[in-house]
Amino acid sequence: MSMIPFIDLAAQQARIKDRIDAAIQKVLAHGGYVMGQEVRDFEARLAEFGQSKLSLSCANGTDAIVLPLMAWGVGKGDAVFCPSFTFTATAEVIPWTEAEPVFIDILPDTFNMDPAHLEAAIKAVRAEGRLTPKVVIAVDLFGQPADYPAIKAICDREGLRLIADSAQGFGCTLNGKHPIAWADAATTSFFPAKPLGCYGDGGAVLTDSEHDWQIMDSFRVHGKAVAPDLKGEVFAYDPRYLNARIGMNSRLDTIQAAILLEKLAIFAEEIELRQVVAQRYADGLKGVIATPKVIDGGVSVWAQYVIEHEARDALAAHLKTQGVPSAVYYPVPLHLQAPYAKFGQGPGGLPVSEAKAGVVIALPMHPYLDEATQARVIDAVNGFNG
């Protein structure tokens, strides 16, 4: 029996191959491989899509999270609150700045940050007095928006900034709005398997702040002087050789931007197709298994379709015999992993994150999953007597 693809990137490529080939050839012809016109064009289109004033592309979705932290001067003695049940990158960038992550539990139905636990953690950190609460990083896990109205209200009350790590959720909405409606910065990844992926690494930050954009632009290009640095100053040479801060090299390649322009053009339609696939799963698995719940008013982009089963590993083995691949996101929450074990947690620990890690299993999911193939997946799941 042939193995079904977990994410079929070839189906999308076949659909737009001519346009992608032409876009790549255009870059090869003009030769602006780094920060070429397509990068500017893509940033404009991405901001438009994500309902932000501006967007800043960068080398990957991990740098996209650290760039706003750097721009805001987050550092030693600061606490940054984030989930533990997420991809490592969400928390990894926090110690880069010398700030410390404080891990927050998730809600059992959406897998996203528990606002009540966040609030309790902020109070506990203030009471302890060692760290200063500065930033919250909420994650749009598996593609659906976090509870932004609740999280934003807490951030406003406590004077914290909010990052939406939308690497899996870019394109998701809550009550018709994208995460930037609440967040000070929304970040995404163009890793090929993400809902909006390129053919390599890439990432972006969405922001409504011209000043933040300028400072992040400086950090992504080695700390070059940008407009706010040059105010009232005369520098007779190329300002890229005047360094205003210690930065990094985190640019999106022009070829990737050219590819992303073509992929973004069909992304809204693909999000619709993902709803159809998710609905077929919900209908086909109804009553047999716990299917995902999306927050009220939310639209998920279904980066992953994650179900829960007590005999998860046996189910995965059974699916494999039926030619159905599956994946476990995430088998060990970050607070239980060696490099992160020393960091803080909200009061009472993270029992939901720990319980979910043992039961989650992701099924094949992409916009081009046809009905017959999906029926094979559904039959295989329903045929498991674990």
Ligand X SMILES: *Cc1c(COP(=O)(O)O)cnc(C)c1O
Q: How many CB atoms lie within 10 A of CB 230?
A: 13
Least CB distance to ligand X at residue 116 (A): 22
Using DSSP's 3-state secondary structure scheme, residue 300 falls into coil
Least CB distance to ligand X at residue 306 (A): 13
Cα(72)–Cα(160) distance, rounded to whole angstroms?
Answer: 11
Least CB distance to ligand X at residue 91 (A): 9
Residue 89 touches ligand X, criterion: CB under 6 A: yes
Q: Given the complex with ligand X, which of 36 and 195 has the nearer CB atom?
A: 195
Cα(32)–Cα(251) distance, rounded to whole angstroms?
Answer: 13
Q: Given the complex with ligand X, which of 167 and 185 has the nearer CB atom?
A: 167
Using CB under 6 A, pick the residue from 111, 182, 191, 281 that binds ligand X.
Answer: 191
Stretches 30-38, 112-120, 164-172, 251-259: which one binds ligand X (CB under 6 A)? 164-172
Size of the site for ligand X (CB under 6 A): 15
Q: How many CB atoms lie within 10 A of CB 234?
A: 5
* Sheet containing strand 161-165, strands side by side: 54-58, 203-207, 185-189, 161-165, 132-139, 78-83, 100-104, 344-345
Residue 61 touches ligand X, criterion: CB under 6 A: yes
Cα(36)–Cα(50) distance, rounded to whole angstroms?
Answer: 22
Q: In angstroms, what CA-CA distances link 251 with 38, 185, 193, 238, 341?
A: 13, 18, 20, 19, 32
Cα(347)–Cα(123) distance, rounded to whole angstroms?
Answer: 10
Q: Given the complex with ligand X, which of 191 and 219 has the nearer CB atom?
A: 191
Residue 8 touches ligand X, criterion: CB under 6 A: no
Which pairing describes strands 185-189 and 54-58: parallel, antiparallel, or unpaired?
unpaired
Residue 87 touches ligand X, criterion: CB under 6 A: yes
Binding flags for ligand X, 192-231, as an x/- string (CB under 6 A):
---------x-x----------------------------
Using CB under 6 A, pick the residue from 167, 215, 261, 278 that binds ligand X.
Answer: 167
Stretches 10-18, 58-66, 71-79, 357-365: which one binds ligand X (CB under 6 A)? 58-66
- Phi, psi (deg, nearest 5) at residue 28: -60, -35
Using CB under 6 A, pick the residue from 12, 55, 110, 189 that binds ligand X.
Answer: 189
Q: In angstroms, what CA-CA distances link 135 with 44, 78, 103, 241?
A: 27, 8, 12, 31
Stretches 55-63, 99-107, 171-179, 236-244: which one binds ligand X (CB under 6 A)? 55-63
Residue 250 touches ligand X, criterion: CB under 6 A: no
Using CB under 6 A, pick the residue from 119, 165, 217, 270 that binds ligand X.
Answer: 165
Using DSSP's 3-state secondary structure scheme, residue 273 falls into helix
Residue 82 touches ligand X, criterion: CB under 6 A: no
Pair of tokens at residue 370: 């046809």
Least CB distance to ligand X at residue 340 (A): 15
Least CB distance to ligand X at residue 343 (A): 17
Using CB under 6 A, pick the residue from 112, 168, 173, 304 that binds ligand X.
Answer: 168
Q: In angstroms, what CA-CA distances link 48 with 53, 143, 179, 239?
A: 7, 19, 13, 29
* Contact footprint for ligand X (CB under 6 A): 60-62, 86-87, 89-90, 139, 165, 167-168, 189, 191, 201, 203
